[in-house]
Structure 1
Amino acid sequence: MKNILTALTLLFAMNAGAQELNKKIEDPNRHKQVMLNLCTREGITSFPEFKESYDPNYAAYKPDSTAFAALSKLIKGKKITIVLGTWCGDSKYQVPHFLKIMDGLKIDEDKITIIGVDGAKHAENGLIDSLKITNVPTFIFFDKKGKEVGRITEHPKETLEKDMLKILAVTKKTKASETKTK
């Protein structure tokens, strides 16, 4: 009986600390419903306001497949965090393009974390406090150790593929020079 009570107490504590996935709130800044905190791809792509632009933007985007060979090598072992606003025009435009690239590269969904923010670019429980988000969407690339290696903020400087190549190639060069100096 004691083991059962301990297990139930532990389970309750874990659930109390867990955040609700695909949480929807009435945003006091935007005066409309938005998604907040951790989201799934299915959650954002079925959220009515986001879906209405997600579907046509995803379908219309033609990724630069010539970059895929290099990107698939460079992105191995990386994790990606996407911070977006379901209310944000740039998020509605860039996120579908980014996810189409990820699909083309066959990146597992467990390598991608999606976080929704409100109109003030905040999430709950300090979820993005350490990320220093100024604009959305922000695509952040992390190495195996969880260190940020680069980010694309709001929109790419050239294209998503070219910007990703530059970010990830710099990481590879830095690692090569670190190996030589050891």
Structure 2
Amino acid sequence: MKNIFTALILFLAIGANAQDLNKTIEDPNRHKQVMLNLCTRDSVTSFPEFKASYDANYSNYKVDSTVINELSKLMKGKKVTIVLGTWCGDSKYQVPNFLKIMDAAKINNESLKFIGVDGMKKAENGLIDSLNITRVPTFIFTDKKGKEVARITERPTETLEKDMLKLLVVQPKKVAAKTK
């Protein structure tokens, strides 16, 4: 009986957490459905409000193939949190481009975390409270320890690829000259 009770509690706990994944709500500010909280890549890219822009922008984006090998190396051991609004024009444009770059660099989906926000750039349960999100999309690159190492907010300065290269390149440590 104890095992059945434990299994039931575990099932309910997993079920409760699964309900928050790919959550959609009616945004009170935008008066439309938006994705909120943790999402999968598939759910974001197939979300009706996002899909048409995603499909067109992903297929039309020309990846700068001259930097893909270097980006692939720089991304080793890194994860990216993508905070986006499925309602947001910049997200609809930049996220497909970013994902096409990640695909070209052969970065697996396990290295990417998607968080949807509402029109006030908020998520539930403190999910993004410590991330200092002011605009979307925001691409936050973290190292193996979870420490933020780079960030692109809203749109790149040059191109996504060039900005990532500049931000992710490890600067050589300055060696102090010894004086005698």
Q: Is 1:138–1:151's contact at 8 Å kept on the other side of the alignment?
A: yes
> Residue 177 of structure 1 corresponds to which residue in structure 2?
173
Give the whole-Å Cα distance in 2 for the aligned partners of 1:167 and 1:18: 34
Once the two structures are overlaid, the 10-residue window that deviates more, 19-28 or 156-165, is 19-28
Q: CA deviation at 1:69?
A: 1.5
Amino acid at match of 2:43: G
> Residue 50 of structure 2 corresponds to which residue in structure 1?
50
Q: CA deviation at 1:15?
A: 3.6
% identity of equivalent residues:
72
Give the whole-Å Cα distance in 1 for the aligned partners of 2:70 and 2:17: 40
Amino acid at match of 1:2: K
Q: CA deviation at 1:132?
A: 0.7
Q: CA deviation at 1:70?
A: 1.0
Amino acid at match of 2:70: A
Larger Rg: 2
> Residue 148 of structure 2 corresponds to which residue in structure 1?
148
**Mapping 1:1-182, distance limit 5 Å:** 1-17=1-17, 20-169=20-169, 172-173=170-171, 177=173
| Greater than 6 Å deviation, 4+ residue runs | none
Amino acid at match of 2:115: I
Give the whole-Å Cα distance in 2 for the aligned partners of 1:46 and 1:71: 27
Q: CA deviation at 1:19?
A: 5.0
Give the whole-Å Cα distance in 2 for the aligned partners of 1:100 and 1:28: 32
CA deviation profile, 1:77-107 (whole Å, cap 9, x unmatched):
1000000000000000000000000000111
Give the whole-Å Cα distance in 2 for the aligned partners of 1:112 and 1:91: 15
Q: Is 1:37–1:123's contact at 8 Å kept on the other side of the alignment?
A: yes
Amino acid at match of 1:157: T
Give the TM-score taking structure 2 as reference length.
0.91
Q: CA deviation at 1:17?
A: 4.6
Q: CA RMSD in A?
A: 1.7
Q: CA deviation at 1:111?
A: 0.5
Give the whole-Å Cα distance in 2 for the aligned partners of 1:122 and 1:13: 24
Give the whole-Å Cα distance in 2 for the aligned partners of 1:19 and 1:80: 23
Give the gaps of 5 or more residues in structure 2.
none
Give the whole-Å Cα distance in 1 for the aligned partners of 2:166 and 2:141: 12
Amino acid at match of 2:76: K
Q: CA deviation at 1:2?
A: 1.5
Give the number of aligned pairs. 175
Give the whole-Å Cα distance in 2 for the aligned partners of 1:80 and 1:39: 14
| Larger helix fraction of residues | 1
Q: Is 1:21–1:38's contact at 8 Å kept on the other side of the alignment?
A: yes
